[in-house]
Amino acid sequence: MATPHNKAEKGHIAETVLMPGDPLRAKFIADTYLENVVKFNDVRNMLGYTGLYKGTRVSAMGSGMGIPSIAIYTEELCKFHDVKKIIRVGSCGAFQDYLKVFDIVIAMSACTDSAFNDRRFQGATYAPTADFQLVRKAYEAAVNKGIEPYVGTILATDLFYGIEGEDIPWKLWAKYGVLAVEMESAALYTIAARYGIQALTLLTVSDSLVSKQETTPEERERSFHAMMEIALDII
Ligand code: HPA
């Protein structure tokens, strides 16, 4: 069913959706990895494509940045398009000194500073958690490629630029073992649980809040391939 955000009709979207934040990354996934590609959405330029990967039907669609954006798109995928598996492929900022740029993080769970679940659970704390089978398969796929991924909890923040020029209190999160920061997974895992579907976030470290190291857009594009190969292995 078409919505104000996604003009796809029932059947246009595969049961498995790869979801980068950037819609042009969804186009890149379709152009690079998929065959027989059909574009199903361009509303708000939130590009979505369905094609075949080694004979398996799969879609790629952008989520946009932040919890409200990914929440709208994923809830509609679950509710109107019978999507059964969503794999977010994104970037993150490292909170731990042992995490270096281009390392891969498998987000087993997602803390958040967002009010998204406060409203839903009326002040009680829900623990947004990835699907265990996807965590296990992603870990094994990475190790088979000679990559040792970091598996643990991350922070999904609403505050990319911090508050009044100060960083978000990342050292506190770091003390409690949080690996890295992004802006979407707490909503993805919550909505996936609500609809009984599988979800996982794979992240490449694009910058470090500890060392202040950053990466260029070209470097990020190259590092994206390793993460994508893991994602495609587990669809
Ligand atoms: N903050 C939030 N999201 C991010 C970051 C960050 O530093 N790096 C990559 N995604």
Atom of ligand 1 nearest to the CA of 209: 7
Question: Is the CB of 184 within 6 Å of ligand 1?
Answer: no
Query: Which of 90, 54, 83, 13 lies closest to 233, judged by CA?
Result: 54
**Can you give the pLDDT at residue 213?**
94
Q: How far is CA 206 from CA 19, 38, 137, 155, in A?
A: 17, 30, 23, 15
168 lines ligand 1 (CB under 6 A): no
Top-tier CATH class for 16-233: alpha beta
Per-residue model confidence as pLDDT tens digits over 60-108: 999 999 999 999 999 999 999 999 999 999 999 999 999 999 999 999 9
Catalytic: which of 42, 158, 207, 233? 207
Residue 94, class by beta-carbon neighbours within 10 Å (0-12 exposed, 13-18 middle, 19+ buried)?
A: buried
Q: What is the mean pLDDT of residues 30-56?
A: 98
107, HSE (Cβ side, Cα atoms, 13 Å): 38
103 part of the active site = no
Distance in angstroms (rounded) separating the CA atoms of residues 171 and 22: 28
Specify which residues 153 forms β-bridges with. Answer: 109
pLDDT tens column, 135-175: 999 999 999 999 999 999 999 999 999 988 888 899 999 99
> Global pTM?
0.97
Pairing of strands 48-53, 85-94: unpaired
CA 229 distance to own-chain centroid: 15
Distance from the alpha carbon of residue 218 to the mean position of ligand 1, in angstroms:
17
Alpha helices in the chain (DSSP H): 23-33, 67-81, 116-120, 132-144, 170-175, 185-195, 217-233
Q: For the chain, what is the mean pLDDT? A: 96
Q: Which of 231, 223, 221 is nearest to 139 (CA)?
A: 231
93 Cβ inside 6 Å of ligand 1: yes
CB of 160 closer than 6 A to ligand 1? yes
H or E stretch including 203? strand 198-208
Q: 213 CA to middle of ligand 1, Å? A: 12
